[in-house]
Amino acid sequence: MFTPINRLFVETQENNRIVFYNAEKPVYFEKYKNDVAKYANLFSKIQNDTVVMYIPDDLYFFYVCFMAALQAGKDIILPALFTVQNSKSLLEMTNVLITDKFDSFGDFNIINLECPDNHDWEFNDVSDRFLYFFTSGSTGTPKRIKKQFKMLAAEVAFHSQNQKHLIEQNPVSISSVAPYHMYGLLWRFFFPLANNIIADLDIVFTPEELQHKQSIYDKVLFATTPSFLDGITRYQNQYTFKNNCIGIYSSGSLLDTKTSANAYKMFTVSPFEIFGSTETGGVASRQQINGPEWTIFPPVNVTLTENNELLIESDFSCANPYLMSDIVEKTGENTFLLKGRGDRMVKIAEERVSLPEMEEKLCDYKYIEKSYVSTLTAKDRTVICAAITLNDSGKEYIIKNGRHQFIIELKQHLLNYFPNVVLPRKIRIINTIPVNIQGKYIKSDITSMFESNIAEPIMQNITKTDSKFCADLTFLKDSSYFSGHFPRHPILPGVIQIHFVMLFIKQYFNMSANDYHVLKLKFSNLILPDTLVHFELNRTGEKEFTFEYSYQEKKYSKGKIVIKA
């Protein structure tokens, strides 16, 4: 039974139906409606028409306060993160903050969330309320986007009809995304709620958690991101998933062809990718088992500019028409291929270069798996930089022949397509290209790699669980940290060993720290250039890890890391 999300509490509902599993315990519609009414009474006393909402951890409470604020006639600002930097811009919009955190929020008026037990409320249609999102893609500069609630409601209504064949199978909705941005709000919050689908409120962070959720429900719909799918398919030999996932939704960035194919092998369903933006809403979709083309949603009108950029008109869009920077090739009346973004054309020494095209040509090279190309400006000179990951053959080749020889041959490959003057001046060979929770490349993290001269080791035989990370590492002899340490007798410095411990904690356990202690540190043997080393990292507590560098019976070093902040 579909209910328009803007009229959720206006139209008659079954009070005894389960709407959520909160920590795997059922929450019934009657409780949810009463909780929303209580907080709507509280929020109606706020004089400001606009509020900031920051409830990052308790999803049920977020869902209650979100709908309650709309019912109370408030427009909602949703910062995905709340920092000292972005709080200043938020204060220009309102000084009212709804949060369950007890941190210092400067000049904000924080609402006391202890409300009277009064659930008498006259519910209304919330179509005319506004939401403010902040999106930066990969630029790192927040962009504020204002959307009327009826735009989101229209998109939910369309997808509800489009996905009816899955809804009728009565699945449970599970997700690896949070509802603090457009995609998460639509697919893990509104879509299940409007279609009488029970939503599990736990955020799935690891393959083990996904396996567990699949084990307790008959059928599931999974809302996720390309980065999550890429992560679990990398370790596909480690995991077996129950054959009960009837639909996978993915958005935020493009899903790699190999990842899509591997996801199909693991779940027997091809991910349903949604292409669009926070500004436009959904524009098109594809399932790569049917090919690389995107099919335009029927409610969306698409025309092309003279530069083949997309011009969008739809009820989902915050402006009509809206010019997207994406360049496409029309393949049919309602289909197209994505060719890259217009804003990723750069000029180097009078030569125009398409960064997506260079990424494509890099990935055509037999040893490269993925690439990301950007620019770096220093001393009034702009150069192209490339971050690449290697396939198994590439790792074996570079271990045998060295980084220097590999880069010579890679540039020779690129000279088939680009003039020498525009070839990448900095190339970083890494195991994983950093992405955010939405699967978009984190440009600031990638830029910091180019500014550093610390080269990652070549990583093979990687295994990862929620408490353990293992890999075989080869520290190449032409890495900068071997130079001068010591002359004619190079060894891997201890500080570099600790550096990579902290890097792996950040990459594989999503925990970054500037303040940490190293305990029980012991160096037993020297790690020489081109030596194969087995690395093991174990999470022994919330902020505690043990690590060891070894190979067979030989121990190189070990220790314990305690993260202070």
> What is the C-alpha separation between 62 and 78, in angstroms, rounded?
11
- Residue 377 burial (C-beta neighbours within 10 Å; 0-12, 13-18, 19+): exposed
* C-beta atoms surrounding 206 within 10 Å: 17
Tokens of 109: 């008026």
**Overall pTM surpassing 0.85 (yes/no):** no
Q: Taking the CA of residue 178 as centre, how many other CA atoms within 13 Å lie in the half-sphere pointing to its CB?
A: 16
Please state the length of the chain.
565
Q: Is the dihedral of CA 100, 101, 106, 112 positive or negative?
A: positive
Tokens of 562: 């305690």
Q: How is the beta sheet containing 554-563 ordered, strand by strand?
A: 458-464, 468-474, 532-541, 544-551, 554-563, 516-523
Place of tokens 């335009």: 296
Distances (CA, A) of 515 to 500, 518, 543, 563, 565: 15, 10, 11, 6, 6
> What is the C-alpha separation between 509 and 516, in angstroms, rounded?
15
| Neighbouring residues of 403: CB distance < 8 A, sequence distance ≥ 6 | 429, 455, 476, 478, 479
> What is the C-alpha separation between 200 and 177, in angstroms, rounded?
12
Distances (CA, A) of 109 to 47, 69, 70, 85, 349: 11, 16, 19, 18, 52
The four Cα atoms 170, 171, 177, 182 give a dihedral, to 10 degrees, of -20
Question: Which helix (H) or strand (E) element contains residue 173?
Answer: strand 172-175
* C-beta atoms surrounding 413 within 10 Å: 15
**Number of helices (H) and strands (E), helices first, in the chain?**
15, 30
The b-or-e profile of 78-112 (16+ CB within 10 A means b, else e) is: bbbebeeeebeebeeebbbbbbeeeeebeebebbe
Tokens of 197: 């689908």
For residue range 412-427, list pLDDT tens digits in order. 999 999 989 899 999 9
Please, what is the Cα angle at 304 between 298 and 305, to 5 degrees? 150
pLDDT per position in the chain (565 positions), as tens? 899 999 999 998 899 999 999 999 999 999 999 999 999 999 999 999 999 999 988 999 999 999 999 999 999 999 877 776 678 788 889 999 999 886 666 788 888 888 778 888 999 999 999 999 987 544 445 688 999 999 999 999 999 999 999 999 999 999 999 998 899 999 999 999 999 999 999 999 989 999 999 999 999 999 999 889 988 988 888 889 999 999 999 998 888 898 999 999 999 999 999 999 999 999 999 999 999 999 999 999 999 998 889 999 999 999 999 999 888 999 999 999 998 777 677 878 778 788 888 998 999 999 999 999 988 887 777 889 999 999 999 999 999 999 999 999 999 999 999 989 899 999 999 998 887 766 677 787 888 888 888 899 999 999 988 899 999 999 999 888 887 666 678 899 999 999 999 999 988 888 877 788 999 999 999 999 999 999 999 999 989 999 999 999 999 999 999 998 6
Please, what is the Cα angle at 338 between 335 and 341, to 5 degrees? 140
CATH architecture of 453-565: Roll (3.10)
The b-or-e profile of 440-451 (16+ CB within 10 A means b, else e) is: bbbbebbbebbe
CB 133 within 8 A of CB 79: no
Please report, for the chain, the start and end positions of each structural domain, with discontinuous segments joined by +: 349-449, 453-565
CB 178 within 8 A of CB 185: no
| CATH class of the 349-449 domain in this structure | alpha beta
Tell me what pLDDT residue 559 has.
Answer: 95
SS3 541: strand
For residue range 53-74, list pLDDT tens digits in order. 999 889 999 999 999 999 999 9
- Residue 43 burial (C-beta neighbours within 10 Å; 0-12, 13-18, 19+): buried
